[in-house]
Amino acid sequence: MQTQILEQMESNVRTYSRSFPIVFTEAKGARLTAEDGTQYIDFLAGAGTLNYGHNHPKIKQALVDYLAGDNIVHSLDMWTAAKRDYLETLENVILKPRGLDYKVQLPGPTGTNAVEAAIRLARVATGRHNIVSFTNGFHGVTMGALATTGNRKFREATGGIPLQGAAFMPFDGYMGKDVDTLDYFEKLLGDNSSGLDRPAAVIIETVQGEGGINPAGLDWLKRLEKICHDHDILLIVDDIQAGCGRTGKFFSFEHAGIKPDIVTNSKSLSGFGLPLSHVLMRPDLDKWKPGQYNGTFRGFNLAFVTAAAAMKQFWSDDTLERDVQRKGRIVEERFQKLATWLSNKGVPSSERGRGLMRGLDVGTGDNADKITGEAFKRGMIIETSGHDGQVVKCLCPLTISDEDLLGGLDILEDSVKHMFG
Ligand SMILES: *Cc1c(COP(=O)(O)O)cnc(C)c1O
C-alpha cells in the first residue's frame, strides 16, 4: 500500500491514521475494506458518526436521487425544500412523539460549531458568561467549546491563550461511588462566597464519550436538572456522541426523563457521515438577532436529505431502539466477562456504558493500546478513550449484523487473551 505521500504531506496533527496506518477504499455496514482487499469490522464507526453503518442503501439512494435531480447543494441559510423536509421530519418523527418543543439553529456543520453556538446562546439569553462543565467532559476544540473541555492535551494547544468563561464541577462518580458530587455544586451555588460566578448554563454529556464512556446516573441527572431549575441556570445536554440512538433512545437524556433547555447534536445526525449539526433550544430562549451568529455552511442540503431519510427509516417505530438495547446487553455481558478474566490475571478492569456506548476500562492506556493494536492485526477497528486512553470503547454501528457484532467481540476476546494470557 502506497502511504508515502500521506506520511509526508499531512500534518503531525493527524491521529487515527497512527492507530490504523493503512489506506481504506470501501465500506459497507460495519465493514471497512482496505486497498489490499483486507476487511475490517468497524467498532469505531467514525467515533459515533456512523450509527446506521457505512453507506446504508436507503439513505444512500435518497442522496443519489437528490444529486441526480440537480437539486440545490449549497444555499447559505436560504430556504430549500431539503431544509423544510428535514425540519418537518425532525418535528414529526423525533420531537413531537417525545413531547419536546424546540426551535432549531443550524450553525456550521461540526460538533464544536454547535457547542459554540449553544453556549453563546446561553450567554445571550441570560446575560451571564459562566458555563459550568464537568471533569472529563469533551465538547470540541474551538476556543469556547475548548474552555468547557477537560482534557489537558487539548487545552495546552492554545499556545497559552487563556481559556475563559467555564468552571469545572466533578462529574458523577468522580469522587468515588459514595459521594454525590452534586452536593458540592449545590453548596457552591448557595454560598455567596464560594467564588463560583453565577452560571448562565451547565453543559453535560449524559454519557461521556471521549472522557472514557462514563454514564451519569439517571437520578443524578434528574437532580442536576432540578438544581438548574432552582437556580435559574440553563441545562445544555451535549448529545453529539451519545445522541441519535447510541444509548438506545434517540436522545440520551430520555433515559433520565429530563428536558434540557438546549441540546446539541452532530456526529450521527446526518445518518450518513456527512457533516451536519444543530442546536435545539427552548423557543423562548431564541434571543438571537437576525444574522448575529452566522457561517457559510449553515445547514448542508445533502446532509438534510440523508438525515431526513435516516429519521424516517429508523425512528418511525421502536425497532431500532429495542435492537440497540438487545445488542447493548450482549456487549455488556461479553465486556463484563473480559473484565473479570483480566482482573483475575492481575489487570484490574471494569465494564460500563449505556446502550451501545460501552467501554472496557483496563486501567492504563498501555494496556488498552495492546488490546486494540492486537485487534487491528486480527481485522478489527476499535479505539480507546479516557484521560489516559485506558478504556477500550465499543461504538459499532447500531445496525451491525449479529454476525459482525459477535465476530468483533470474538476478536476482542482473542486479543485480550493473547496479550494478557
Ligand atoms: C465529537 C464531539 C464534539 C465535537 O465534535 P466535532 O465535530 O469533532 O467538532 C463535541 N462534543 C461531544 C460530546 C463529542 O463527542
Q: How many alpha carbons fall within 13 Å on the CB side of residue 258?
A: 27
Percent of the chain whose predicted confidence (pLDDT) is above 70: 100
Q: Is the pLDDT of residue 1 over 90?
A: no
Instruction: Enumerate residues 6+ apart whose C-beta is below 8 A from 303.
Output: 109, 269, 270, 272, 274, 275, 276
Please name the residue that has the C-alpha cell 469505531.
44
Average pLDDT over residues 15-30: 97
261 CB less than 6 Å from ligand 1? no
Which of 139, 206, 300 has most ligand 1 atoms within 8 Å of its beta carbon, as the pocket-test mutant? 139
- The protein residue whose alpha carbon is closest to atom 7 in ligand 1 is 111
User: Over the stretch 393-403, which tens digit does the pLDDT of each residue have?
Assistant: 999 999 999 99
Average pLDDT over residues 14-39: 97
Q: Is the pLDDT of residue 76 over 90?
A: yes
How confident is the model at residue 162, as a pLDDT?
Answer: 96
Please tell me the distance from the alpha carbon of residue 395 to that of residue 38, in angstroms, as a whole number: 21
Q: Are the folds of 3-56+318-420 and 71-315 the same?
A: no
Domain residue spans of the chain: 3-56+318-420, 71-315
Q: Which atom of ligand 1 is least distant from the CA of 209?
A: 15
Calculate how far, in angstroms, residue 344's C-alpha sits from the geometric centre of ligand 1: 36
240 CB less than 6 Å from ligand 1? yes
User: Over the stretch 141-197, which tens digit does the pLDDT of each residue have?
Assistant: 999 999 999 999 999 999 999 999 999 999 999 999 999 999 999 999 999 999 999
How confident is the model at residue 296, as a pLDDT?
Answer: 96
How confident is the model at residue 8, as a pLDDT?
Answer: 96
> What interhelical angle do 301-314 and 81-89 show, nearest 10?
30
241 CB less than 6 Å from ligand 1? yes
Third-level CATH fold of 3-56+318-420 = Aspartate Aminotransferase, domain 1 (3.90.1150)
238 CB less than 6 Å from ligand 1? yes
CATH number of the structural domain 71-315? 3.40.640.10
Q: Which atom of ligand 1 is least distant from the CA of 115?
A: 10
Q: Tell me the whole-structure pTM to 2 decimals.
A: 0.98
Average pLDDT over residues 252-274: 98
